[in-house]
Structure 1
Amino acid sequence: MLRIGRYEVRYPLIQGGMGVRISGGNLAGHVAKCGGVGLVAAAGIAMNSSFYNGRNYFQAETAAFKEELRKAYAIAPDGVIGVNVMVALSDFEALVKAAIEGGAKVIVCGAGLPLSLPELTAHAPEVALVPIASSVRAAQLIARTWEKRYQRLPDAVVIEDPDTAGGHLGEKLENIGTGEYDQYATIRAVKQFFRDEYAAEIPVIAAGGIWDRADLERALSEGADGVQMASRFVVTEECDADPAFKQAYLNCKQEDIGLLMSPAGLPGRAIVANTTAIRQYDLDHHTPCRMNCLKKCSYKESGERFCIVTALDRAQRGDVESGLVFCGTNAWKAERIGTVQEVFDELFGE
């Protein structure tokens, strides 16, 4: 059982937000139906949607976001369904507003410090607010800022392990993989901070590298109140990605997974064998920055690296040769396409 704000789920599991329609309404709805927290990822949700005509990206983003939430609630009408909204997105504020209008019960925010999130959600105090951090210092800064400015604490905190998590990582590239980071020491310290400073029991969630029951049980035994799991749900029938995207997980080897620098200025973890092809695609097709999807983007500003939203979109549609396939370090463990229910049965079955 896991309680986040006013909401309680049967199992201590949040499905991680995977942008550009990897975790859309179908996956989020089925996770919620099975007793976890299902998240629709906001980033690039307009892409490959009926709302986007190539010229109306921001308008299509909010419309598509609310449509995916509607799909999720059609699957799990009473489920705990939330969203993941990256702080780095240009339309961060509009997407938070759309999430509330779409009925999201939980808003999870990473890829930056969501210092203004309580102000953006002040009209919806029932919505649980969950920042993602990798350090005690970041969690303290968020909590102190929220409490001082808005008299509100996080309803939970996700502590992401940059050494194992997939997608964008909230740590400097040179600090990842050094062996110095201790996720569970960080989790215990964050829990103690809330006890000491606010006399509050705030759930702290472990994210990154959670694949099987042993990983889950270790996280709980080390002091986490729950886990956030993303990559494991890619290889399910309900995941919103194209079958070729899922097959990339089945085909990859451990050595195929590595780090790259995103044009967002953040390191990311992905299947990196095709990174040259991603850059070459933009050069060959003279791909312009049409979306302006990120507040800060080296591709938008100088043409450096690649257009990340179109690279992720190509992969989500099935072009994994020139598309970007984000994943965590354990994606190579995928052996078959199962169902969300089978994942829950393995993790929580008697």
Structure 2
Amino acid sequence: MSQLPELKIGKHQPLYPVIQGGMGVAISGPNLAGHVARCGGVGTIASVGLACNSPHYNGRNYFEANQLAVKEGIQEARKIAGPKGVIAVNCMVALTDYDRHVKSACEGGVDVIISGAGLPLRLPEYAKEYPDVALVPIVSTVKAASLISRRWEKTYGRLPDGFVVETPKYAGGHLGVTKMDQVDDDEFSLEKVVPELVEFVEKEMGKDVPVIAAGGIWDRKDMERAFGLGAKGVQMGTRFACTFEGDASERFKQAYIDAREEDVVIIQSPAGLPGRALRSPFIDQYLKGHVESKPCIANCLTHCRYKTERETFCIAQALIDAYRGNWEEGLFFCGSNVTKVEKMEHVEDIMKELFPE
């Protein structure tokens, strides 16, 4: 076994160098995040769409209910994680109320904010009253990391506390690139981007800013490969989604267990970005060019082709249906490793397998 790197994100250091990826809507909620943090990783709540599972939501107050759900989710995760657990919230830049997601997470006492689905150029502004909250952008290229760093330093006098590099080749959900032909492009592979970003970070920011590799990480071998590229940590989503502690419905998890290679497809999502998902009956119809959508839930995305052109579908509704286990009408986002899911696992058992020492 090679020696593990220490993952220090701002003032926060988990026992193990692994972050559980943020998976929305509500797939990585407080229960999953709390258990991952309790077992020594960084547990991540996805802030998007939490309102839909909240007692505060009455069908008309989506944005206000979501703010409360984010704060309460962090408190719930903390109770499970204990005082030493590191809790993160994943906030998507593409949301119309992105600033409120960040502020709610900070007010709720989060340790780390991880932010992608766009460039989080104003993230420090929204978190400025909470200097101990670590801020970690998700990037696909060194160019994006450089742009964010320069803007943050010039405008806010601070630098990112780490970077998550997500490769579209294997990641789940929205893939961090804008064009379909970029998904399999080696220019966006971890093998290319991680060493380049490590070099950039060490030159521009010093060795204390970790690069975290994401996309296609499943076992210890995958982790060690990422560490060999210079990453100080890894982010894993798909494997944690299908755990007993995962917040999704049993039917959602069964869809992962049943998935074969031919069931995994790349779609153009309503947000205008490629995404990796299972070919549910709903997505099968969408790929064939005809789909009936449920009505827009809340004007939640800054760029949404369903809202502006009545094309595609309401992604929030489809993701909520998946979370609740509606196989016929749901959008089941997944990583390429979904075909390796054979059974439900406990978070603790995954962590013991990854870190037997």
Normalised to the residue count of structure 2, the TM-score between the two structures is 0.94
Amino acid at match of 1:135: T
Deviates more, 1:124-133 or 1:57-66: 57-66
> In the alignment, what sits opposite 1:11?
16
Residue 233, structure 1, aligned to residue 273, structure 2: no
Residue 62, structure 1, aligned to residue 64, structure 2: no
Alignment of 1:6-85 (within 5 A): 6-78=11-83, 79-85=85-91
> In the alignment, what sits opposite 1:134?
140
> In the alignment, what sits opposite 1:197?
204
Q: Deviations over 1:70-119 (max 9, x none)?
A: 11011013111010000001110011010011111100000000000111
> In the alignment, what sits opposite 1:146?
152
Deviates more, 1:251-260 or 1:47-56: 47-56
Deviates more, 1:248-257 or 1:267-276: 267-276
> In the alignment, what sits opposite 2:218?
211
- Residue 287 of structure 1 deviates from its aligned partner by 2.4
Amino acid at match of 2:176: G
Which secondary structure does the structure 2 equivalent of 1:7 belong to? coil
> In the alignment, what sits opposite 1:305?
312
Cα distance in 2 for partners of 1:325, 1:199 equals 39
**Is the CA contact 1:52–1:60 (under 8 Å) kept in the aligned structure 2?**
yes
Cα distance in 2 for partners of 1:335, 1:197 equals 43
Distance 1:23 1:278, change over 3 A: farther
Cα distance in 2 for partners of 1:238, 1:199 equals 37
**Is the CA contact 1:278–1:311 (under 8 Å) kept in the aligned structure 2?**
no
User: Unmatched 5+ residue regions in structure 2?
Assistant: 1-5
- Residue 276 of structure 1 deviates from its aligned partner by 3.6
Alignment of 1:68-147 (within 5 A): 68-78=73-83, 79-147=85-153
- Residue 279 of structure 1 deviates from its aligned partner by 8.8
**Is the CA contact 1:187–1:206 (under 8 Å) kept in the aligned structure 2?**
yes
Residue 177, structure 1, aligned to residue 184, structure 2: yes
Amino acid at match of 1:146: W
Which secondary structure does the structure 1 equivalent of 2:23 belong to? coil
Amino acid at match of 2:89: V
- Residue 183 of structure 1 deviates from its aligned partner by 1.3
Cα distance in 2 for partners of 1:277, 1:31 equals 36
Deviates more, 1:88-97 or 1:192-201: 192-201
Provide the aligned C-alpha RMSD in A. 1.6
- Residue 288 of structure 1 deviates from its aligned partner by 2.0
Residue 158, structure 1, aligned to residue 168, structure 2: no
| Superposition misfits of 4+ residues, deviation over 2 angstroms | 178-182, 197-201, 276-280
2:227 to 220, 229, 233: 220
Distance 1:126 1:304, change over 3 A: same
Normalised to the residue count of structure 1, the TM-score between the two structures is 0.96
User: Unmatched 5+ residue regions in structure 1?
Assistant: none
Distance 1:199 1:214, change over 3 A: closer
**Is the CA contact 2:140–2:188 (under 8 Å) kept in the aligned structure 1?**
no
Cα distance in 1 for partners of 2:286, 2:332 equals 10
Cα distance in 2 for partners of 1:174, 1:117 equals 29
